[in-house]
C-alpha cells in the first residue's frame, strides 16, 4: 500500500532504477541479464560499484568512439573495431554495445576471455539480445594476437583489470594491431615484483633506493608502481600520447589507475631512454628484450 503524506495525498512507490544514475538509453533488461540488477530492479552494493566503474570507463571511451566512428564514416573505411581483453562477464562490452554500437548500426566488439563458461554465457546473451556485432573468443590475450579470424587492425583496445601480465599482453596486442587508442585499467602484476625479489640482495649493496622494496609488502607495491610507469614510457616511446588518472574514487576499487593512450605517431626518444635507464636501475634489464622491446628504428621526437 502507498503511504499518505501529511496533506493526505498518497505517495506512489518509487521506481528503484531511478536511484541508480543510469545512462540515458540504458537497457534495464540488459542490466538484469548481467545480474547487475535483480528481477525487480534492485541493486546490491557490489553491483553498484561494478556499474560505477564501467560507467566511468565508458565516460573515457565514448568520446574516442564518437571521434573514430565519425572518421571512418567520412572516409568510407571499415567500421570502428574494439577489443576488450580479460573481458570476464563482458559488462564493459555489453554496455558499450547497448549505449553506443547499437544505435550506431555498425562497428564490431571482440571480447577476449580465458574462462570458457564466461565466454559461452556471453555468446548466449549476445544472441538473446540480438547484439550480432559482438564476438567472444575463448583464449588468452597473447593468443588472440595471432588469430587469423581477427581484424588486422583495431581502433580501440581496452583492458579492465586484466590480471597480471594480461595487461601487458593487451598493450602488445594494441601495438601489433596498430590501435588508434588504448584504455587500460591495470590489475595486479607479479612479474616485476618477482624480478625485484631476485635481485634484492645485490640491489641493497648497490643503491639505497633498494630500501623501497626490501620488505615483501613494499616489493609488491613497488613492483606495481614501477610496472605502470614502465608501461607509460613504453607507450610514449611507441608513438602514443599518454594520460594517467583515477578511474573512480579509491573507496570503490584499490586498482584504480586509468591509462589512456592515443596514437600520434610521435615516438619520444626521451621516453625510450628513460625506459632503458629505469630497467637498468631496478635490475630489470631482461624485460627490455621481452616485455618492453622497442622497435629498431629511432624514435622521432626528442621531447
| Cβ(239)–Cβ(267) below 8 Å | yes
Burial class of residue 25 (count of CB atoms within 10 Å of its CB; 0-12, 13-18, 19+): exposed
How many domains does the chain divide into? Answer: 1
Give the tens place of pLDDT for each residue, 24-53.
889 999 999 998 888 887 887 788 888 888
| Cβ(47)–Cβ(37) below 8 Å | yes
Give the tens place of pLDDT for each residue, 21-32.
788 889 999 999
Residue 99 lies in a domain: yes
Domain that holds residue 144: 23-187
Quote the CA–CA distance of 128 and 111 in Å, as a whole number.
Answer: 17
Residue 89 lies in a domain: yes
Check residues 180 and 206 and name the one with the higher pLDDT.
Answer: 180
Phi/psi class of residue 196: alpha, beta or left (left: φ > 0; alpha: ψ in -120 to 50)? alpha
Sorting pLDDT into bands at 50, 70 and 90, what band is 243?
very high
Residue 27 lies in a domain: yes
| Cβ(287)–Cβ(195) below 8 Å | yes
Mean pLDDT of the region 14-26: 66
Quote the CA–CA distance of 58 and 22 in Å, as a whole number.
Answer: 12
R_g over Cα of the chain? 22
Assess whether pLDDT exceeds 90 at residue 261.
Answer: yes
What does the pLDDT read at residue 189? 73
Assess whether pLDDT exceeds 50 at residue 9.
Answer: no
Sorting pLDDT into bands at 50, 70 and 90, what band is 250?
very low
Sorting pLDDT into bands at 50, 70 and 90, what band is 2?
very low
What does the pLDDT read at residue 298? 54
Check residues 103 and 7 and name the one with the higher pLDDT.
Answer: 103
Quote the CA–CA distance of 43 and 207 in Å, as a whole number.
Answer: 51
Residue 98 lies in a domain: yes
Mean pLDDT of the region 147-166: 87
Assess whether pLDDT exceeds 50 at residue 283.
Answer: yes
Residue 64 lies in a domain: yes
Residue 164 lies in a domain: yes
What does the pLDDT read at residue 98? 96
Which residue in 113, 80, 284 sits closest to 197, CA to CA? Answer: 284
Sorting pLDDT into bands at 50, 70 and 90, what band is 251?
very low
How many CB atoms sit inside 10 A of residue 18's CB? 9
Q: What is the mean pLDDT of the chain?
A: 85
Residue 144 lies in a domain: yes
Sorting pLDDT into bands at 50, 70 and 90, what band is 297?
low
The domain that holds 70 is classified in CATH as: 3.40.50.150
| Cβ(223)–Cβ(251) below 8 Å | no
What does the pLDDT read at residue 11? 43
CA angle in degrees (0–180, nearest 5) for 102-158-59: 60
Three-class DSSP category at 84: strand
Assess whether pLDDT exceeds 60 at residue 3.
Answer: no
Residue 277 lies in a domain: no
Amino acid at each position: 500500500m502507498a503511504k499518505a503524506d501529511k496533506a493526505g495525498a498518497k505517495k506512489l512507490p518509487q521506481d528503484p532504477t531511478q536511484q541508480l544514475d543510469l545512462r540515458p538509453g540504458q537497457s534495464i533488461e540488459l542490466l538484469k541479464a548481467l545480474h547487475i540488477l535483480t528481477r525487480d530492479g534492485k541493486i546490491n552494493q557490489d553491483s553498484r560499484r561494478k556499474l560505477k566503474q564501467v560507467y566511468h570507463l565508458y565516460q573515457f571511451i565514448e568520446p574516442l568512439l564518437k571521434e573514430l566512428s565519425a572518421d571512418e564514416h567520412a572516409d568510407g573505411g571499415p567500421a570502428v573495431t574494439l577489443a576488450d581483453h580479460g573481458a570476464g562477464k563482458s559488462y564493459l562490452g555489453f554496455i558499450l554495445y547497448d549505449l553506443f554500437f547499437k544505435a550506431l548500426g555498425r562497428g564490431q566488439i571482440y571480447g577476449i576471455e580465458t574462462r570458457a563458461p564466461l565466454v559461452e554465457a556471453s555468446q548466449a546473451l549476445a544472441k538473446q539480445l540480438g547484439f550480432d556485432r559482438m564476438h567472444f573468443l575463448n583464449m588468452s590475450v597473447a593468443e588472440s594476437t595471432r588469430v587469423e579470424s581477427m581484424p588486422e587492425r583495431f581502433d580501440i583496445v581496452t583492458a579492465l583489470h586484466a590480471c597480471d601480465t594480461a595487461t601487458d599482453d593487451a598493450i602488445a596486442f594494441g601495438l601489433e594491431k596498430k590501435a588508434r587508442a588504448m584504455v587500460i585499467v591495470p590489475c595486479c602484476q607479479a612479474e616485476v615484483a618477482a624480478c625485484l625479489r631476485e635481485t634484492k640482495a645485490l640491489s641493497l649493496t648497490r643503491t639505497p633506493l633498494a630500501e623501497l622494496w626490501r620488505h615483501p609488502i613494499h616489493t609488491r607495491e613497488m613492483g606495481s608502481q614501477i610496472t605502470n610507469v614502465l608501461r607509460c614510457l613504453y607507450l610514449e616511446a611507441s608513438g602514443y600520447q599518454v594520460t594517467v588518472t583515477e578511474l573512480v574514487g579509491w573507496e570503490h576499487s584499490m586498482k584504480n589507475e586509468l591509462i589512456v593512450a592515443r596514437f600520434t605517431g610521435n615516438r619520444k626518444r626521451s621516453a625510450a631512454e628513460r625506459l632503458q635507464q629505469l630497467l637498468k636501475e631496478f635490475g630489470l634489464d631482461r624485460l627490455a628484450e621481452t616485455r618492453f622491446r622497442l622497435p629498431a628504428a629511432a624514435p622521432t621526437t626528442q621531447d
